[in-house]
Amino acid sequence: MVKESGNGSRGWGSRTRAVRGGLDRSGHHETAEAMYLTSGFVYGSAAEAEEAFASKKSTRYVYSRFGNPTVAMFEERLRQLEGAGACRAVASGMAAVSASLLCQVRAGDRVVASRALFGSCQYIVGELLPRYGVEAVFVDGTDEAQWRAALTRPAKAVFLETPSNPMLEVIDLRMVAALARQAGARVVVDNVFATPLLQKPLELGADIVVYSATKHIDGQGRCLGGAVLGSAEWVEAELVPFLRHTGPALSPFNAWTLAKGLETLDLRVAASCASALALARRFEGHPKLARLRYPFLESHPQHALARAQMSAGGTIITLGFRGGKEAAFRFLDALEIVDISNNLGDSKSLTCHPATTTHQRLTEAERAHLGIDAGTVRFSVGLEDLADLEADLAQALDAA
């Protein structure tokens, strides 16, 4: 008998879920997931159309802004990997972040967020939400006292990113989740740097997880995508109506690409993490560097927490050059294999200078507060041979 579905009901391990989860074969019994490049769907009769719109429980597709079979395969595969009640995919990571927050707040609500956020996330929380009457409170994510103070008053949502971009701050998810619960707030975790494999925010007390699938889930620089995961009740009640009517739908083509990306996520992330740890160990203490930060190095300020909360240190290393911007630029320009790019989580190693690119929008004082200085360089470790990366870094560090 042909295996037609990937419902994961037999207690599959994560690699099996990543390859077979959500599989929904058509009558043609194709091997790979089918790509349903269609905006709409047709009905055999007017009564069938009426029924599809009338029934809340209808399982048939009506319009790709509401749902699409290829997008659904990606959603179900990621849902199984995360161990969440439900998953909805969207067109980008920022669509995921903005929808996850906007769908649940209204004027008069408070949102508490860690200060160290991806630039556009900072815009959503710090600028957009207040325009609609939502109070935004920022705290230093590693300072329990600040979380405690901010969450003594009721709040609607908590938003944070751990490890953070680009300083790789690690925030105690259990601690924040416990304080948030007392304040009546749902905890939304941007889990991009950890990926669905290295850190399970829902098991640590978070309510909602968001991804930029553009990063490790695609991981091959091909397309944008995002996802929001949470309980089936919350997704149905709050997220789905918002998505249906605001329309940040993921293209079926991108969903197909991302579903195929999930098949190799485990292998790719494991290989990049192993290289990242090896490179971090090899270059820590290099004379050109004032610091090298990586969550699984003993020198990381939250090393013990990172080990307790994550199963590997991730694919990003952050360097701090003693010679400031000039040394950082000399390093970037001297790299022969590694590309200069603001993307991350790719099979190609990529590096950037946050102060002049991803974090240019912040004031110098804000950057200083986050620990981002002119010598800071973010390094996303890819899948090249470790020996080649070591040699490239070594010669570029000499040139710096």
The H or E element containing residue 19 is: helix 14-20
Size (the chain), residues: 400
**Do 157 and 185 contact (CB within 8 A), yes or no?**
yes
Tally of CA atoms within 13 A in the half-sphere of 267 that contains its CB: 9
16 close to 9: Cβ distance less than 8 angstroms: no
Whichever of 113 and 192 has its CB closer to ligand PLP, that residue is 192
How many other C-beta atoms lie within 10 A of the C-beta of residue 388?
Answer: 13
First to last CA, the chain: 61
| Selected binder of ligand PLP within 81, 90, 94, 113 (CB under 6 A) | 94
Q: Which of residues 51-90 bind ligand PLP (CB under 6 A)?
A: none
Residue closer to ligand PLP, measured from CB, 208 or 396: 208
Q: Shortest Cβ distance from residue 119 to ligand PLP (Å)?
A: 9
Is residue 344 within 8 A of residue 372, CB to CB? The reply is: no
Residues 6 or more apart whose Cβ sits within 8 Å of residue 65: 244, 247, 249
- By CB under 6 A, name the one of 75, 161, 169, 207 that touches ligand PLP: 161
Stretch that binds ligand PLP, among 80-88, 117-125, 305-313, 365-373 (CB under 6 A): 117-125
Binding of ligand PLP by 163 (CB under 6 A): no
> Token pair of 13, please?
């391990």
Complex with ligand PLP: residue 93 or 252, whichever CB lies closer: 93
For ligand PLP, the closer of residues 190 and 266 by Cβ is 190
Q: Which of 86, 105, 121, 258 binds ligand PLP (CB under 6 A)?
A: 121
Which residue, 350 or 389, is less far from ligand PLP as judged by CB?
350
Q: Return d(Cα 347, Cα 142) in angstroms, integer.
A: 30
Interface mask (CB under 6 A) for ligand PLP, residues 329-368, using x and -? ----------------------------------------
Q: Which is nearer to ligand PLP, 292 or 352 (CB)?
A: 352
> Which of residues 213 and 289 has its CB atom nearest to ligand PLP in the complex?
213
Kindly provide the residue ranges of all beta strands, DSSP E only, lying in 6-141, ordered along the sequence.
Answer: 86-90, 110-114, 135-139
- Of 71-79, 116-124, 273-281, 379-387, the segment contacting ligand PLP by CB under 6 A is 116-124
- Of 52, 96, 49, 51, the residue nearest 258 (C-alpha): 96
Structure letter (DSSP) for residue 92: S
Helices 386-399, 324-334: inter-axial angle, 10-degree rounding = 140
- Note whether 165 binds ligand PLP by CB under 6 A: yes
Q: How far apart are CB 112 and ligand PLP at their closest, in Å?
A: 18
Is 215 an interacting residue with respect to ligand PLP (CB under 6 A)?
Answer: yes
Candidates 36, 118, 147, 234; binder of ligand PLP (CB under 6 A) is 118
Number of residues near ligand PLP (by CB under 6 A): 16
Interface with ligand PLP in residues 226-255 (CB under 6 A): 226
Compute the distance between CA of residue 337 and CA of residue 348 in angstroms, rounded to an integer: 9
Which residues, 6 or more positions from 62, have their beta carbon under 8 angstroms from its beta carbon? Answer: 40, 41, 52, 53
> Where in 195-214 is the site for ligand PLP (CB under 6 A)?
212, 214
* Number of DSSP helices (H) and strands (E) in the chain, helices first: 16, 12
**Residue at token pair 């080649």:** 388
Tell the residue number behind the tokens 């200078």, with chain if given: 353
Place of tokens 């790979």: 32
Among 183, 202, 204, 224, binds ligand PLP (CB under 6 A): 224
Indicate whether 257 belongs to the interface with ligand PLP (CB under 6 A). Answer: no
Query: In the bound complex, what is the minimum distance in angstroms from residue 113's beta carbon to ligand PLP?
Result: 12
Q: Which stretch binds ligand PLP (CB under 6 A): 113-121, 170-178, 320-328, 346-354?
A: 113-121
Shortest Cβ 358–ligand PLP spacing (Å): 9
- Token pair of 258, please? 């991302």
| Among 128, 103, 89, residue whose Cα is nearest residue 210 | 89
Residue 190 contacts ligand PLP per CB under 6 A: yes
Which of 6, 67, 93, 248 is close enough to bind ligand PLP by CB under 6 A?
93
Cis check: omega of the bond before 166, within 30 degrees of 0 = yes
Minimum CB separation from ligand PLP for residue 92, in Å? Answer: 3
Cβ-closest position to ligand PLP: 93
Question: Which parts of this chain interact with ligand PLP (CB under 6 A)?
Answer: 92-94, 97, 118, 120-121, 161, 165, 190, 192, 212, 214-215, 224, 226
